[in-house]
Structure 1
Amino acid sequence: MADKGGRPVRTGPERIRKLAQAALNADVTVEQVDTILEGLSETLEDLNHSMEKLDVTLERFNGAITHINELAPRLIAVVDRMEGIVTRVERIVGMGESVIMPLAATEQVIRGALGRVRKSAGL
């Protein structure tokens, strides 16, 4: 037998009690690990379900982005046409202002003349 280094020697019943206690502790630990693993399994199933929903959402988002990309050239063309229309309207307005300026000046002269005639006539 090996030297125990001054430790008391255990008897058979003490060894059995220690082994039984160790077995009970191991059993409790195994149950705790089982409970943790069950909870982890449920969490992973929920995460898997969430990931499936996220995949569907990302596919829809990708479809929307693709649709926007397809619409972009048409929208750019519409904007270009609108800019052309605005340029033409600005030219028309500028021409209208040029035509009306002499008329407005003539109106001012006529109003001034009529005002002087009214003052001189006492009206």
Structure 2
Amino acid sequence: MADKGLGYRDIGGRGADTRGPERQRFKKLAQAALNADMTVDQVEGILADLGETLVDMNKTISGLDGAIDTMDDTLSKLSVTLDQVDSTVASMGDIVARLEQVVTRVEALVSIGEAALRPLGAIESAGRSVASRLGIGS
């Protein structure tokens, strides 16, 4: 019965020193397993959030792709419009040159008309002089 007083300490002749470290080792392993389980749960949560973020990012990038395609079409139309403006400006230059020629010709005709009317002006002036001497004019 003397052995009963020793209890668990003397089973198998190991003593208290060998049983304590094994228990501590199991505790550490269990705690490490719990920590690993918590870490796995955290990683799964992060991955789930990351998955949602990637889905949203994919939608955003798809929208951006659509905007870029629309912008590409718009830039193509703008390029065509600028080409048309360039050709219109060239045509306007030709029209301005033609108008300048017309104005030059009209100026020449006006000069000729003025030169042709100078003798009539002299005749008119002489006629007024005669009329005023005769008392016919005002």
Q: TM exceeds 0.5?
A: yes
Question: Is residue 40 of structure 2 the alignment partner of residue 16 of structure 1?
Answer: yes
Match of 1:94 in 2: 118
| TM-score, normalised by the number of residues in structure 1 | 0.72
| TM-score, normalised by the number of residues in structure 2 | 0.66
Match of 2:63 in 1: 39
State the distance in 2 between where 1:25 and 1:99 align: 106
Question: Is residue 93 of structure 2 the alignment partner of residue 69 of structure 1?
Answer: yes
Residue type of the alignment partner of 1:79: V
State the distance in 2 between where 1:45 and 1:87 align: 62
Displacement after TM superposition at 1:54 (Å): 1.0
Report the structure number with the largest CA radius of gyration.
2
State the distance in 2 between where 1:41 and 1:51 align: 15
Residue type of the alignment partner of 1:40: L
The counterpart of 1:25, out of the listed 25, 37, 49, is 49
CA RMSD of superposed structures (Å): 2.4
Q: Number of aligned pairs?
A: 106
Segments of 4+ in structure 1 off by > 6 A? none
Match of 2:24 in 1: none
Q: Deviations over 1:65-104 (max 9, x none)?
A: 2223334443332222111111111222333211100101
Q: Give the number of the structure with larger relative contact order, counting CA–CA contacts within 8 Å between residues 6 or more apart.
A: 2
